[in-house]
Copies of this chain bind each other. A is one copy, B any other.
Amino acid sequence: MNKLAEDLKANKLKVTPQRLAIYSYLVGTNEHPTVETIYNHLKEDYPAMSLATVYKTVASLRDCHLVKEFNLGEDSNRYDANKDVHSHLLCTKCHRVYDYYGDIDLKHVIYELKTSFGFETSALDMNFYGVCEECRGNNEN
């Protein structure tokens, strides 16, 4: 039994081929795909798969925290199975999303939110918008 199937079982999710394929794809990529992207990628191997299955699967995976759902102001959500703490850089030209593992220490901020405002932080995200190296290299702007 592989690790990914165990992840599913540990969360009381039945290990179906579709579900395993979607989760595997998310674990193996760093491109932060949308549902549409996931669907198109797996259509080849799973021609019968429904778009609804992808929607339901990512929702399940999100609910048990195996993947993270996020939105960078685009028209659809993106999904990420990377559990390490990191930020996202959205290139506003090519619309690729890069990961950034920087030394941003927010412990004191979270502590201040708790002590000064009574706000108990359970999650946070940090997004950078700009132009990536490749796009800056290319032509205009």
The residues of A with any CB-CB pair to B shorter than 8 Å are 69-71, 73, 89, 91-92, 98, 100, 102, 104, 106, 109-110, 112-113, 117-134, 136
- Complexed CA–CA distance, A73 and B133 (Å): 28
How far in angstroms is the closest Cβ of chain B from A71?
5
A109-B119 contact, Cβ under 8 Å, with A70-B73, A125-B127, A129-B124: no
Contacting pair B123 A126 (CB below 8 A): no
How far in angstroms is the closest Cβ of chain B from A69?
7
Task: Return chain B residues, CB-CB under 8 Å to A122.
Answer: 92, 129-131
Contacting pair B102 A109 (CB below 8 A): yes
Task: Return chain B residues, CB-CB under 8 Å to A113.
Answer: 89, 100, 102, 128, 130
Those 7 A-B pairs whose CB atoms lie nearest each other, nearest first: A118-B133, A121-B130, A123-B129, A124-B128, A122-B130, A126-B126, A120-B130
Task: Return chain B residues, CB-CB under 8 Å to A92.
Answer: 122
Contacting pair A73 B71 (CB below 8 A): yes
Residue of B with least CB distance to A127? B125
- Complexed CA–CA distance, A104 and B111 (Å): 13
Q: A71-B73, A118-B132 are known contacts; what are 4 more A-B pairs with Cβ within 8 Å?
A: A102-B109, A113-B128, A119-B133, A120-B131
* The residue from B112, B131, B133, B136 contacting A102, defined by CB atoms under 8 A apart: B112
